[in-house]
Structure formats: structure tokens, C-alpha cells
Structure 1
Amino acid sequence: MNRMERIQLINSQRMKWCCTDYGTTPYELASKLNIPLATMERVLRGEDGLTFLQLSKIASFFGRGVLFFLEPGPVDATQVHTPAFRTLANQKPELTGKLKRLIERVERQREIYLSLREELDNADLPRFKAPELPRDHPSKAARIARQWLGLAQNNTFDSYRAAVEARGVLVFRSNGYNSKWQIAKKSLILGFSLYDHDCPVIVVRKQDSESQQSFTLMQELGHVLLHQSSAIDDERDMQSHRGHERDANAFAGHLLVPETFLVQVKDGARPRQISEFDEWLKALRKTWGVSTEVILRRLLDAGRLPQAQYAAYREWRSTQPVPEQEGGSRKYRHREPSHIFGNTFVRTVLDALHGQYITLAKASHYLDGLKMSDLHQLERYYAGV
């Protein structure tokens, strides 16, 4: 087909459905993709078609195939969106189109991983099997989960992430800069989990400090282990005292700062000035890989800190300037897939490449479109060269 020939019989109802689903309009879509508005109007009336390039742009924008817009009949949402996706969309009806596309992109990455895992038939790859946890006792559940994860006292976000991945849960982290793997800076969403009995995925938003990311990771793990369901959480959910959110928050707090840690906090050394709390707890929070707020919340729940002081600290902290994030560097572009998808996913792709189960082009596509030179550099990085 000549690329300038127009494809007719486009199902405009499907295009409208996608626009509604992602919170935009056909006219906004046309503007974003540089399609003439007059052309879009004629397509919607069934009087004209689109070039293959134009239709491909629309399909790519919505994460669909071109044929999706040529099929007759209305869209069956249960066929388009997975149960996990629908769970998240129901929890947060205000989800933006960009975030919805990110969720679907994460689901596709999981399918890629599971397909490669099956091809490799590698017994060393972690398999998810949730431990038996008491759902009505978060502190006990957290103690069991901490043993299940094999956590030591000294931790960072990376060590927490590695421990969770070693138990068969994929852990992705969003990019801090504008890309298809970013959670928008204006968004309140801090993370989400997509439950699957074979391979759950947790997505953590890149935040100002890695200790904040650690809490999000364990809060989402709480949903996976305690509730065996998908969840999406924003800043308000992290302070919730209701239902599943309350349980997941308590689980995360006890897992990160168990009772044996909490006794190391010296109440007598607590400063009078709220602004000095960070320095007071500096050594402990760096050792445990947690934020001051997580420790304070545990002290509050244990009856060792007045509610007024906890609230005053949160208020003071909210007024502090956020340190500027350094821009990315081409020098480390080859490591970005590891930061986004985690070592389990990246190693599986590289193993599949070395075993000749996939081509270089596919490996590049699976690893966020790495250039061949960066892909080879990533291989050397994992080989320790």
C-alpha cells in the first residue's frame, strides 16, 4: 500500500471510545499528533479515511494495534483491559491517560518476562509463592514477611528491591524525567501493584529520596501479600486509617521498623525543635534505609510520640525545599533499563539474547529502546567487564 493512500472503513466509534477512556477528545488527539482537524472531522463522520502513518500514530498513542481501529463493532472493555487494570481504574477514576498507558505498558513488560522465562525454562529464575500471613495482624504479618525476604538490619532501597525481586515479584521504578516510563511530576500517585498469582508487579514512583521509595515498595507489597489484589496509592493513601490502606501502611511500617529496631530509638534524646528531628534520627534512618517520618509514625503508633509533634514534623517537612534532581547523562544510558525494570527483568532479557531466543532488535525493544552500542555496554556491565 502506498503510504499516502487513505485507509477507509475506520471504526470511528472505537477511536471515540479510546479518547474517552484516556481522558481526551478526537480534536485534542488530532492536535497532539499533527493530524488536520478537518481530516479528523471527516473521519468521524465516515466521509474520509486516514493514511497508514496517521492511523499508526493514533494506534501508538493508545497502545493499540492498527487493526483495532479497523475491526467492526463496539469495544468490549473486558477484552481490552485486564481485571488488574480495571481494579486500579475503579480505585482512581481520575487516572490520566498517560498513567493508564503506563499501567498497560507495565502489563506488557510482565508478559514479555513470563514468555522469556518459559522459553529459558531456567530453574534459577525466582518463582512467586506468597507466605501464609495473618491478615488481621499487620505487625505479625510484617515479621513473617521480613523473614521471608531475608532482610538484614542495614538496608537501602536497592537491597529492599533485590529482596522482593528474589521472591518472584517484579519491581519497576518510574523515570524521574519526562519519558513513557515517567509518572508525571504533578501526579499524586506514588506507586501501584498489579497482582498476579504467578508474577505480581510493583511500580514505585521515583521520589526525592530513596527512603520514601522504600515505604512505597513495602506498602504495595502489603497489598500483594495481605490482600492478594491490585492497588494504586497516592499521598493521601499513605496516611489512611481505613481498610486495606490502613493495613498495608501498618504492614510497611512494621516491616521497615520492627519492634527490635524501635527500641534503639532513645526518647530521652528527642530534641525540642521539630527541625532537629532529622538529625536526631539520622544514624538510624540511614542504617535502616527509611525516612524520619516512618520512624516517627512507628513511635506515634507505639504511644511514644504525641500526635501534635508528628503533625508538626509533617507540616515542617512540607515547607522544606526539594533538592534539585541532576539531569540524566548519556554516559549511564546503558544502565537505565536496570533502574526502571530491575535486575531480574534485565538479566532475563540478556539471557534470552545470549541463548539466541530473541534478536538484538527485540532485546533493544524490550529494554526501553536501547541503542545497540548501549546494549553491548549493558552486557559488559552485567558481565563485570
Structure 2
Amino acid sequence: MGHNYVFGTRLSPFLMVDKPDKVLLNGELLDMADRIQIAPERYVWALNRAGHTEGSYMDSHPKSHIQEWISGEIRPTYKQLDDFAKSVNLPVGYLFLENLPVEEIPIPMFRGEAGQQNHFNLNVYDTVMNVQARQEWLEEYLNENEIDTCKFVGSISTKTSISEAVSRLRSILELESRWAFSLSTPDAAVSLLGQKLEDAGVFLAYNGVVGNNTHRKLKVSECRGFALVNEKAPYIFVNSADSKSAQLFTLIHETAHLMLGVSAGHAGSEGFHHEATERYCDRVAAEFLVPASVLREIWNNDTKSASLRFKASELVIARRAHDLGLMSDTDYKDFWAIYSQRQISAKKKSSGGSFYLTSVKRVGRSFAIHVRNAVNNRQLGYTEAYRLTGLYGKTYDHFMTHNI
């Protein structure tokens, strides 16, 4: 019969030892089968943190005894606690902390017409913190090695005219107003724009899940993308689960954030924003992707044909046409009535593709090059390189050797 161990609110230090069925807790070596009790509110906090209620968790984990643990009817074993923590994406040690950690997404996340999003989303939080960790390492590495990167962070303000901001951006990226016309697909446009941004010193990451965990999907309704401002290592994250035309808009919207020197993210519907800075970034993206002078020249009352040429979404085309007086209020309302009934446009599901090619997008080529160089120069250990890239052992070696 295992012992029972009761924990209050103080942190109970524990350490896994070199035995698969043992854990060192409070200086005593315990079996993984020993029963442990923790404060019931810790379970509730862990569930809420992961976006669950007791009911929703039981629906997805019908064999769980979480309700009995909360009521105190049953005490879990350490192994059961560990399994529970993994199921809610929580380090098991958090259940024993004296004070619960304060976890807040460090940048504002805006949701289309809904304005600022205030609720906590664990997948978004973990994604932002992961990118921020990369950025912090990059900043130190680039400074130590005196490597020049991006020059345009904080180069404009919301008082800068949209035309001037777009003109500067075209010069930085070396893209003229009809740059997308010669490309075959929005995917090609995203690739070219991404390369231009990396050449200009912006670090990019694309992902539709948290890290490499395909069970933790990053919903477009929670995050389409975000920008983390840093003069040395500015970062843009794009949700790869989004449609390619939407990714294109996100890239320029977040680039405008970098130019303004304001970190933020956006989520939800494709509707434009009401908040002043977000609205400004929307206008920069719209003019960059669908220049007014070019749209006036080619407009034939067909949003689909214009979308194919600019590689922007039909919604962006319609809104631009309406704002420029090319589409009447009635025509725009008719368009919206049809467009809003469509399912949210997302990329087509594929058979999965190459893990390594996907990893290039998730890690980011520019970032991976710096990590590889730092390891080769013995400025970074393999353990830290694994953590920063999310790739381990032979997978890391293959990735760096054959893909970067």
C-alpha cells in the first residue's frame, strides 16, 4: 500500500531520479504509485488555464477521475498527476507552487470588429513566449557578433501618411506596385514577400500548431499573426493554418507594426479594426497589396478576377473598391451578404508534406542559420539549440545538414 502525501500551498520540491518508477519529493524517495493530495483549486486553475471546464475535460477524457480529485473522494498517484498535467499542457511542478504564476500574453491581441481580445488562450500564449525566447537569444547573439540586421523598426508613426509609409516599404522590399501580377498563386506571393522581408532583416516563423504538437492547433479565431518589435531582431509570426491570401495581408500588416515600433497581434474575422494603430496597419497593408491607382486602372466590377491578379482576398478587393468609390454601397452589401456566408477560408488540407520542409517554415530559415553558426562556433550548446528550434538529436542534425 502506497503512502498518502498531503500538500498545502507551499512549493513542495521534487526531483525525478534515475529510476522510472521513483520521484524524490521533500527529500523522500517515493513510488510513482504513492497517493498525493493537492488543493482542489489547483485542478480548477489548471483546467481553466487550458480552456477547459470540469465538464468539457470529462467529455474529452472520460476515464479521468478529475471530479473525484477535486471533491477529495480520491487522491491521485504522482503518475496520474503527471499524466493530468501533460493533458492540460502544464509542467507538473506548477501544481505544487506556493503562488500560481501570472501568465499574460505580453502583447495586445486584436480581433477584427470585436476590438481587443482580453481572454487568455494557452496556445497563443505558448506560441508568443516561444517566439519571444528565440528573439531574446537572437538579440544577444547578433549584438555579441556585431551583425547588422533590420534598419526600419520604428521608422514611421501613425502621423506618417499611408502613401509615404507604403512608398518606404516598397523601397525596402524592392517591390513595385504590380509585383504580384506576374506570380501564379498567393502561395508564390507569400514566399516572395517572406524572402524579401528576411533579406531586410525581419525574422519570420509560420506555424498552425504549438511547436510541433499537432494536437495543439492554433486557431485563426485566436491568432492570425503577431509582430514582436526589437531593433536588432524584429519578429513576425504568421498562422500557417490561415489562407494564403490572408497570410499575405498578415505579413504586411505586421510589417507595418514593426515600422511603427509597436508590438501586437490580430485574430478572428477578416474585418478591419477600430483601434487606431490597427486601423493604420490595415490601411498600409491594403494600399501595399491593392494600390488605389492600379485598382482604378484594372477594375471591371469583378472582385474574383482582381483577387487573382493582386493575390489578395476578395474581401480586401471589395473593401478597397468600395472605399475608392468603385463599388456602390448596395453592391458592397450584396457582396458581403454572399461572402459572409462562406466558410472561413483556410488552406487546403494536404497529406502532410515533408516534416523537414514544414520545419523550415516553423523555425525560420534566417533564425536556423544563426543557430547553426552559433553551434559551429561553440557559442551555443546543442541542448539550447534543441530547445530554441524544437528539434532534437538526429532530427536536428538532419534538418541543419540537409535543409538549411
Is the shorter-chain TM-score for this pair beyond 0.5, marking a shared fold? yes
Residue in 2 aligned with 1:65?
Answer: 91
Please point out which of 65, 70, 74 is paired with 1:44.
70
Please point out which of 269, 287, 312 is paired with 1:254.
287
TM-score normalised per structure 1: 0.74
Distance in structure 1 (CA, Å) of the matches to 2:80 and 2:198: 40
Q: Secondary structure at the match of 1:239?
A: coil
Report 1:28-177 matches (<5 A): 28-29=56-57, 32=60, 36-37=64-65, 40-41=66-67, 43-44=69-70, 50-73=76-99, 75=100, 77=102, 80-84=103-107, 91-93=116-118, 99-115=121-137, 118-119=140-141, 121-124=144-147, 126-127=149-150, 130-136=153-159, 137-153=161-177, 154-155=179-180, 156-175=189-208
Report 1:236-255 matches (<5 A): 238-240=271-273, 243-255=276-288
Residue in 2 aligned with 1:214?
Answer: 248
Q: 5+ unaligned residues in a row in structure 1: which ranges?
A: none
| Contact 1:117–1:125, Cα closer than 8 Å, also in 2 | no
Aligned CA distance change for structure 1 residues 316 and 32 (closer, same or farther; 3 Å):
closer
Distance in structure 1 (CA, Å) of the matches to 2:46 and 2:108: 15
The alpha carbon displacement at 1:70 in A equals 1.2
Aligned CA distance change for structure 1 residues 253 and 107 (closer, same or farther; 3 Å):
same
Residue in 1 aligned with 2:20?
Answer: none
Please point out which of 373, 381, 388 is paired with 1:351.
373
| Contact 2:202–2:234, Cα closer than 8 Å, also in 1 | yes
The alpha carbon displacement at 1:168 in A equals 4.7
1:6 aligns with 2:48: no
Aligned CA distance change for structure 1 residues 190 and 306 (closer, same or farther; 3 Å):
farther
Residue in 2 aligned with 1:266?
Answer: 298
Distance in structure 1 (CA, Å) of the matches to 2:63 and 2:391: 26
1:326 aligns with 2:350: yes
Q: What one-letter code is carried by the residue in structure 1 that aligns with 2:298? A: K
Q: Secondary structure at the match of 1:111?
A: helix
Aligned CA distance change for structure 1 residues 192 and 14 (closer, same or farther; 3 Å):
farther
Distance in structure 1 (CA, Å) of the matches to 2:97 and 2:306: 63
Please point out which of 11, 15, 18 is paired with 2:46.
18
Q: 5+ unaligned residues in a row in structure 2: which ranges?
A: 1-22, 24-29, 181-188
Distance in structure 2 (CA, Å) of the matches to 1:62 and 1:5: 21
Aligned length: 358
Aligned CA distance change for structure 1 residues 319 and 47 (closer, same or farther; 3 Å):
closer
| Contact 2:207–2:241, Cα closer than 8 Å, also in 1 | no
- State, as a whole percentage, how many aligned pairs show the same letter: 19
Distance in structure 1 (CA, Å) of the matches to 2:288 and 2:38: 53
TM-score normalised per structure 2: 0.71
The alpha carbon displacement at 1:4 in A equals 1.9
Distance in structure 2 (CA, Å) of the matches to 1:226 and 1:161: 19
Q: Secondary structure at the match of 1:16?
A: helix
The alpha carbon displacement at 1:104 in A equals 1.9
The alpha carbon displacement at 1:211 in A equals 2.2
Q: What one-letter code is carried by the residue in structure 2 that aligns with 1:158? A: S
Residue in 1 aligned with 2:186?
Answer: none
Aligned CA distance change for structure 1 residues 310 and 170 (closer, same or farther; 3 Å):
farther
The alpha carbon displacement at 1:163 in A equals 3.2
Distance in structure 2 (CA, Å) of the matches to 1:161 and 1:374: 23
| Contact 2:58–2:64, Cα closer than 8 Å, also in 1 | yes
Distance in structure 1 (CA, Å) of the matches to 2:198 and 2:320: 26
Distance in structure 1 (CA, Å) of the matches to 2:57 and 2:389: 28
Cα deviation digits, residues 118-163 of structure 1 (max 9, x gap): 3473444635752432414333333333334443452511222233
Distance in structure 1 (CA, Å) of the matches to 2:380 and 2:74: 40
The alpha carbon displacement at 1:306 in A equals 2.3
Aligned CA distance change for structure 1 residues 145 and 358 (closer, same or farther; 3 Å):
same
Distance in structure 2 (CA, Å) of the matches to 1:315 and 1:173: 31
Q: CA RMSD of the aligned region, Å?
A: 3.9
| Contact 1:173–1:340, Cα closer than 8 Å, also in 2 | yes
Choose 313-322 or 194-203, whichever is displaced more. 313-322
Cα deviation digits, residues 48-75 of structure 1 (max 9, x gap): 65444333334444544332221224x2
Distance in structure 2 (CA, Å) of the matches to 1:352 and 1:86: 33
Q: Secondary structure at the match of 1:84?
A: coil
Cα deviation digits, residues 262-284 of structure 1 (max 9, x gap): 45x334xx15xx5xx423664x3
Q: What one-letter code is carried by the residue in structure 2 that aligns with 1:17? A: W
The alpha carbon displacement at 1:364 in A equals 4.6
User: Which is helix-richer, 1 or 2?
Assistant: 1
Residue in 2 aligned with 1:342?
Answer: 364
